[in-house]
Structure formats: C-alpha cells, structure tokens
C-alpha cells in the first residue's frame, strides 16, 4: 500500500482508462489524485461510483505523492516529470520523451520487470506498437533468440487521440454520403483509406514511429543485435492496433512450438484456427488487456522464420494497462520493503 498516487493527464483518452483501471483493479493506494491542465481543473470525474475532482497540474501538486502515472504529450512530460522527481515522486511516464534516455528503464512488466529496480525516479512505458510486438517476441527470443523482425503495423485512429477518433466518424459519414470529409488531424482522408506514414520523416526514409519500434525493441530486450524493419500504417479502424510480423530466429522453431510458447506466456492469448476463421481482430480485442496472436505459421521464404498476426488494444496494454502494471509493481515493492501489505499481480 502506498499513500498517494497521481494521474497526470487524467482527462485524456488514455488518462481516463488509467483511472478506470486503478478503480477496477483496486490499486493499493490510500488516495488517488487526478491532475490535468488549468482548463480541466475543478471538473468532476466519476468512475465506477467513485467521484474525483480534477486538480490543476503545478509543481507543488507532487508534494506527498509517492507514484505518478503520466499520460501527456512529450513537451508536457519534459516539464512536469522534473517537478515530480524533485519532490520524491516516482513517475511512470507514457510519453516518448524519456524512453531512450540510458538512465531510464523502458519496461513491459511481463518482459523485463527486473529493469524497474534500476530506476532513479523515472520509468518509461513503451510505444503501443512496440509493446504488443515485444510481448510476442519475448517467448520466442528466450527459446531460440530472435535475429531479425519485419513488421507492418495497421494502427487505429484512437492512437492519435480523441479528435482523431471524431475525425474518423465524421469523415466516414461524409464519404458514405458523398459529401465533405473533415481533415484536421490526418494529412490525407482517413475514411476508406490507408495512410503509410505515422510520425515525422527520418533521414533514412523511415518515420519516427517506425524508428521507435526499432530502438525500443532493442532496449527492452537488452539486445542491440536484433534487426527490425518496420512500416507503420494508419488505418480507418476505431481502436486496436494490428501487426503482421515475420520473426527470424537463430535456431529453428516449428509453428507448433511457437504456438505452445506463445500460449504459455502471460498476457498473450493464442487465437489460431484458420479453418474455423478464428484469428485476432481489432473489434474483438478492443477493451481487452491481452495481446492476441494468430495465423502462426512457418515462413516459406527463410528457414528459421515464423510469420504471425497480432492485435492489441492500443489504449490499454499499449498504454494505460502497461503503465498501471508498472505502478502496481512499485506498490508491491513498497509493501514488501515495509514488511507486508497487499501484493498485486502483474
């Protein structure tokens, strides 16, 4: 049990889910505080019968706060995280700002929980697309060492925020009616379309989103030799990211062995029966915390390749759930150091 946990960015799409998870999972804190921008201050939020009042985010907001979960843009994280750390708060940060800082652990609790112990006040949660891919890679890497990954992502508009979700709804209605399609968030029409760019261009021809998958994967798995080639695509799906992945391992894995390893890994659910048309889909994964994997098969283009398809709710395991799991781990460790208290499963 800890005294106080704060959620920074509590009124955003991911922030709201974080609060819901804290309540539904009975997070072991005596007090939960919600922090957001000045325009949201004073706004009441009710979650599962629990009423909260949103407070304005200020430096002094972190006095007495043990753990903070931040779901904010990079520029906000760059400002508020030092305020919190200076006051003794441990921050679980969802932004990209600290992820590649060598002094900040980048954590998926099912994959590298031991990295949490090395924090100096900040723990980063990975990019949503990286998270679901690494969850699938981890058991195969442990068994046969992953050498190379080729991944194409099909990313839902919810990953671009509440306004993007609204744009999809309005644009789809406009497209179906043959009328105007609003375009404020995306550079091209999103209805009935695919946009093969997420993030800003990089000099090597990849985008910032694609390079996050490369660099974050290596850091989480602690293996700089893993080669990753990513193509990230925005698709007209409301929620839930999908990925087509080819994983090449050092030693051969059969499809049956890969299926067995994945089915036994915490947080991964195998849905893999092509004949019965049973495989992961974003509509059925939405609202769930697991990573779903199917279409598992031995690749016919390379001797040690496993091809598969995985889907996950990008707002949950890709963001909110992963951060809450890290905070639960911190609370568990605090209780253990105190000589007791409620333990929390990952």
Q: Is residue 342 part of a domain?
A: no
Catalytic residues, which ones?
A: 128, 241
Element (H, E) at 133: helix 128-144
The structure tokens 């671009």 sit at: 160
**Within this chain, do residues 183 and 256 fall inside the same structural domain, yes or no?**
yes
Instruction: Return the bridge partners of 298, or none.
Output: 306
Q: Specify the pLDDT at position 339.
A: 59
- Give one DSSP letter per residue of 92-117, joined into a string: EE-SSSSTT-TTS-B--TTT-GGGGG
Considering the domain architecture, whether residues 193 and 287 belong to the same structural domain is answered as yes
Whether residue 231 lies inside any domain: the answer is yes
- Are the C-beta atoms of 158 and 239 separated by less than 8 Å? yes
Closest CA to 230 of 210, 207, 215: 210
Residue 120 lies in a domain: no
The SS3 of residue 37 is: coil
Cβ atoms < 10 Å from Cβ of 210: 23
The pLDDT of residue 47: 85
The pLDDT of residue 1 is: 83
Domain count, the chain: 2
Buried b (16+ CB within 10 A) or exposed e, 145-170: ebbbbbbebbbbbbbbeeebbebbeb
Same-domain pairing of 153 and 282 = yes
Q: Are residues 64 and 156 in the same domain?
A: no
* Residue 108 within any structural domain of the chain: no
* CATH number for 143: 3.30.360.10
Q: Are 157 and 237 in contact (CB under 8 A)?
A: yes
Successive 10-residue mean pLDDT values, the chain, 346 residues:
95 94 96 94 86 95 97 97 98 98 98 96 98 98 98 97 95 96 95 98 98 98 98 98 98 98 98 98 97 98 96 98 97 69 36
Give 245's strand partners. Answer: 151, 308
Statement to judge: residues 240 and 139 lie in one domain: yes
Same domain? 135 vs 246 = yes
Is the domain of 268 the same as that of 178?
yes
CA-to-CA separations, 221 to 106, 161, 253, in angstroms, rounded: 10, 28, 19
- Whether residues 172 and 261 fall in one domain: yes
Which residues span the domain enclosing 38?
2-97+319-337
Residue 276 within any structural domain of the chain: yes
Give domain status of residue 39, yes or no: yes
In a domain, 117, yes or no: no
The confidence score (pLDDT) of residue 302 equals 92
Same domain, 136 and 282: yes
Indicate whether 150 and 81 sit together in one domain.
Answer: no
pLDDT value of position 249: 98
Instruction: Decide: pTM greater than 0.75.
Output: yes
Q: What's the number of CA atoms in the CB half-sphere (13 Å) around residue 207?
A: 15
Query: Do 88 and 148 belong to one domain?
Result: no
The whole-number pLDDT of residue 337 equals 63
Residues 139 and 16 reside in one and the same domain: no
**Domain assignment present for 118:** no
């Amino acid at each position: 049990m800890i005294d106080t946990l704060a959620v920074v960015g509590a009124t955003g799409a991911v922030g709201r889910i974080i609060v819901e998870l804290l309540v539904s999972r009975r997070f072991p804190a005596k007090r939960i505080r919600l922090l957001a921008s000045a325009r949201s201050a004073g706004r009441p939020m009710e979650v599962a019968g629990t009423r909260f009042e949103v407070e304005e985010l200020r430096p002094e907001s972190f006095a007495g706060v043990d753990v903070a979960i931040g779901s904010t843009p990079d520029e906000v994280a760059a400002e508020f995280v030092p305020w919190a750390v200076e006051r003794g708060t441990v921050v679980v940060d969802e932004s990209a700002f600290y992820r590649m800082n060598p002094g900040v652990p980048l954590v998926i609790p099912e994959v590298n929980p031991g990295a949490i112990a090395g924090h100096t006040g900040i723990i980063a949660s990975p990019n949503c697309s990286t998270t679901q891919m690494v969850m699938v890679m981890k058991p195969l890497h442990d068994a046969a060492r992953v050498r190379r990954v080729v991944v194409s992502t099909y990313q839902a508009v919810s990953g671009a925020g509440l306004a993007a979700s609204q744009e999809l709804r309005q644009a789809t209605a406009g497209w179906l009616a043959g009328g105007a399609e609003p375009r404020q968030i995306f550079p091209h029409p999103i209805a009935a379309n695919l946009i093969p760019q997420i993030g800003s261009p990089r000099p090597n021809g990849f985008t910032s989103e694609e390079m996050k998958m490369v660099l974050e994967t290596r850091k989480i798995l602690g293996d700089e030799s893993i080669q990753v080639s990513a193509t990230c695509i925005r698709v007209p799906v409301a929620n839930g990211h999908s990925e087509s992945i080819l994983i090449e391992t050092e030693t051969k894995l059969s499809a049956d062995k890969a299926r067995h390893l994945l089915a036994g890994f915490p947080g991964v659910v195998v849905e893999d029966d092509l004949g019965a048309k049973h495989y992961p889909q974003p509509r059925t994964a939405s609202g769930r915390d697991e990573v779903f994997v199917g279409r598992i098969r031995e690749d016919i283009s390379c001797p040690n390749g496993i091809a598969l398809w995985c889907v996950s709710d990008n707002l949950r395991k890709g963001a909110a759930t992963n951060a809450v799991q890290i905070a639960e781990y911190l609370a568990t460790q605090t209780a253990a150091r105190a000589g007791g208290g409620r333990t929390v499963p990952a």
